[in-house]
Amino acid sequence: MSWISVKNRKPLTYKTGNWDGKNSDLVLCEDKNGNHHIALFCDGFMDGSPFENWYDKSGFDLDVEIVRWMEIPV
C-alpha cells in the first residue's frame, strides 16, 4: 500500500446511517504534523453546502488538517 495525497483523491464514501452524509471505511491517515490516525472520512451536503470531515475510530472529529491516507489491508 502507498500513501495517497488528499489533494489527489479522498477515500470512497458509501456507508449511510443515522448521520449526515456518507462515511468511508476506516483508513490510516497522516495529519500535517506527521501524526498518524485510524480514521474515517465523511462527506456530503448540508443545507445545500458541501462538507468534508475526518473522524477518529472513536467518532471524534480530527481537528487537524489531514494530508495523506492509505487503505488498511484486510
Please tell me the predicted confidence (pLDDT) of residue 36: 97
Residue 61 has pLDDT above 90, yes or no: yes
Among 23, 14, 8, 20, which residue's Cα sits nearest to residue 56?
23
pTM, full prediction: 0.88
Would you state the cell numbers that stand for residue 16, as one nine-digit string?
Answer: 449511510
User: What number is the average pLDDT over the span 55-72?
Assistant: 95
Three-state SS at 48 = coil
Sign of CA dihedral 30, 7, 42, 51: positive
Please tell me the predicted confidence (pLDDT) of residue 9: 97
Would you state the cell numbers that stand for residue 37, as one nine-digit string?
Answer: 490516525
Q: Which helix (H) or strand (E) holds 9?
A: none
What's the domain range around 39?
4-71
Number of domains in the chain: 1
